[in-house]
Amino acid sequence: MAGPAPKYQPTFTADELALCERTIRRPHAPQNQVARAKLALALHEQPALDNVAAGRRLGKHENWARYWRRAWATEGFRLADRGGQGRKPAFSPSGDRHGQGAGLRAAGAA
């Protein structure tokens, strides 16, 4: 039983579709980008494809297909994740601030 048509209908340019094709063919491409490229190509071929069927075709959850369909329709096309996500480091790994790390270097040199 088919549900209603998806709310978001992204459109793809020829350059974006070519990028998807190249990404799929790259042997060392990140798998998350390959899956997104396959989704974009599937939505281009069948724009009325619902999220459940699209997710099932690619072995992903329907919410994943819904997220990327909405992101492409509202924010523009991208295969990579947005930067700046996640927790930021709590300290500087260089140890140069306020003399921190100097004791470890002096102890290691002795």
* 29 part of a folded domain: yes
* 92 part of a folded domain: no
* 96 part of a folded domain: no
How large is the average pLDDT for residues 20-32? 96
Q: What's the structural domain count of the chain? A: 1
* 70 part of a folded domain: yes
* 64 part of a folded domain: yes
* 58 part of a folded domain: yes
Range of the domain at 43: 14-74
Mind giving me the DSSP string for the chain?
---PPPS------HHHHHHHHHHHH-TT--HHHHHHHHHHHHHHH-TT--HHHHHHHHT--HHHHHHHHHHHHHT---SSPPTT-SPPPSS-TT--GGGTTHHHHHHHH-
pLDDT score recorded for residue 3: 64
Q: What is the pTM of this model?
A: 0.74
Per-residue pLDDT tens digits for 74-92 = 999 999 988 777 787 777 6
